[in-house]
Structure 1
Amino acid sequence: MISRLPTWVWIGAGTLALVAGMVNVVGLIGFEHQGLSHLSGTTSQLGEALAQGSGRAALQLLLVLAAFVAGALLSGLLIGGAALQLGRPYGAALSIEAGLLALAVPLFEHHHMGGALVAAMACGLQNALTTTYSGALIRTTHVTGMFTDLGMFLGNRLRGLPVDGRRIALCLLVATGFLCGGVLGALLFPHLGYRTLWLPALLTGSAGVAYVVYDLRRRTTTNTKR
């Protein structure tokens, strides 16, 4: 049940949605108007490029798709399992994401395709990190599913069917976080350019450190009670 989600999951979901919103808007503004945090639009653009016979554009888009998948693959190798569970190396995964976002900055500034690839890889890693927990599907790098769930839950409520209000709250949290990240990224980009990505890198790195500290304290407390 969504009501069983611990506080650290709620905080992490909101923070990572904010991060993804910032990364995506930087891609949309700065890198050939290319979204980086989800693949629906990228796949459509790939189809268009293939139909038009634009080999160079198709290759770039295909590489972005592959980089996102590679990030998800890396997350699967690091974390394993489908459920969120304390004790798994989320801190290491978040630290790697922070490093990828930081690396994207100089690559973008030198107009190198690698900037988009490592940023997309960071998003793929993040999206795979936040996954199924007790029947609640959490995705933080896109909000289509959250808006779909929100509409479905509201429709059920209008029919008089029981709906877990915390599930609606989770959808709103992720959608709002993603939106606020987009607003913040759009406001910062004219002043900082691609260095705007330093902020999401700092946030994910800090989240990784906070998780490690939290988990260590939890283990210490548990061992003390034994």
Structure 2
Amino acid sequence: MFRHTGKTRTLAHNLKIASLLSFVAGMVNVVGFLAVQRLTTNVTGHFAFLVDEVFRLNFLKALVFFSYIFFFLLGSFVSGVMVEYLQRVNERYEFIVPVIAESLILLVVAVYGPAYATRLPDAIACSLLFAMGMQNSLVTKISNAVVRTTHLTGLFTDLGIELSQLFFYKEAQQKKQLLSSIRLRLTIISFFFTGGIVGGVFYNRFNMHVLLVSVVCLLAGIIYDYFKFKVITIARKLKK
């Protein structure tokens, strides 16, 4: 799911990566909000708060909201740089390294976050937004903008459009593609919701340590992808 791009990428690949990363994003979304009362997976709401503070002439607070937006953008930029550089150096790791980097950020927040949540809430929020910016850029690049996992606004819009098209698209091929797309979007929504539920339920007991589940999921995805690729490679060699 982290290796195939372009024409070699299938719906199965997108469903796997959508399930994994939307679960992680859902958990980060809820845990980040419960821990520091900030939105940590998207920047749409932060734009509204930024403009509001500017009109109130509270420029210091406006700068804080600007930092949230900036760190999401910075995460996306860094992820893009990593992918482009690794494509030229060793394309086998072009998507693996950004996922590992995201895992390390979530690991640091999970371990040290509870101790600094009241003292440095903005730093924690920026860290999580940076990680989600990396993830959003990564999955957009891998899936050719088919999969988005860190926010649901556009997803529900696309889902509504596609559900309406079911009444008008009658050709078998068109309907097949439409149903595949709807299935993908429902998968993202359901796993985002599941990640949020898991994060919310276990936050009361484990605080931000619950983000370790996200770290394990990301690393497990990399390991699964690595061994599956090895098995397929060996199988192809044996057939020759």
Q: For each residue in 1:47-79, what CA deviation from the matched residue of structure 2 results, as whole angstroms up to 9, or x when unmatched?
A: 122222223322222111111111111211121
Q: Which residue of 2 aligns with 1:42?
A: 46
Cα distance, 1:189 vs structure 2: 1.1
Alignment of 1:72-111 (within 5 A): 72-80=76-84, 87-105=92-110, 106-111=112-117
Q: Which residue of 2 aligns with 1:144?
A: 153
Q: Which residue of 2 aligns with 1:154?
A: 163
Alignment of 1:187-206 (within 5 A): 187-206=201-220
What's the TM-score once normalised by structure 2's chain length? 0.81
Residues 1:115 and 2:124 are matched in the alignment: yes
SS of 1:129's equivalent in the other structure is: helix
Distance 2:128 2:134 in 1: 10
Q: Which residue of 1 aligns with 2:25?
A: 20
Distance 1:119 1:214 in 2: 30
Distance 1:135 1:126 in 2: 14
Which among 164, 180, 184 is matched to residue 198 of structure 2? 184
Which among 58, 63, 68 is matched to residue 67 of structure 2? 63
Q: Which has the higher helix share?
A: 2
Unaligned runs of 5+ in 1: none
SS of 1:130's equivalent in the other structure is: helix
Unaligned runs of 5+ in 2: 1-5, 86-90
Cα distance, 1:133 vs structure 2: 6.4
Once the two structures are overlaid, the 10-residue window that deviates more, 168-177 or 178-187, is 178-187
Distance 1:5-1:46 versus aligned 2 partners, 3 A rule? same
Residues 1:210 and 2:224 are matched in the alignment: yes
Tell me how large the CA RMSD over aligned residues is.
2.6
Cα distance, 1:25 vs structure 2: 0.8
CA contact (8 A) 1:2 1:166 kept: no
Q: Which residue of 2 aligns with 1:129?
A: 138
Aligned length: 221
What amino acid is the match of 2:23?
L
Q: For each residue in 1:79-100, what CA deviation from the matched residue of structure 2 results, as whole angstroms up to 9, or x when unmatched?
A: 139xxxx835222211111100
Distance 2:51 2:59 in 1: 11
Q: Which residue of 1 aligns with 2:13?
A: 8
Cα distance, 1:212 vs structure 2: 2.9
SS of 1:77's equivalent in the other structure is: helix
What amino acid is the match of 1:51?
F
Distance 2:237 2:14 in 1: 23
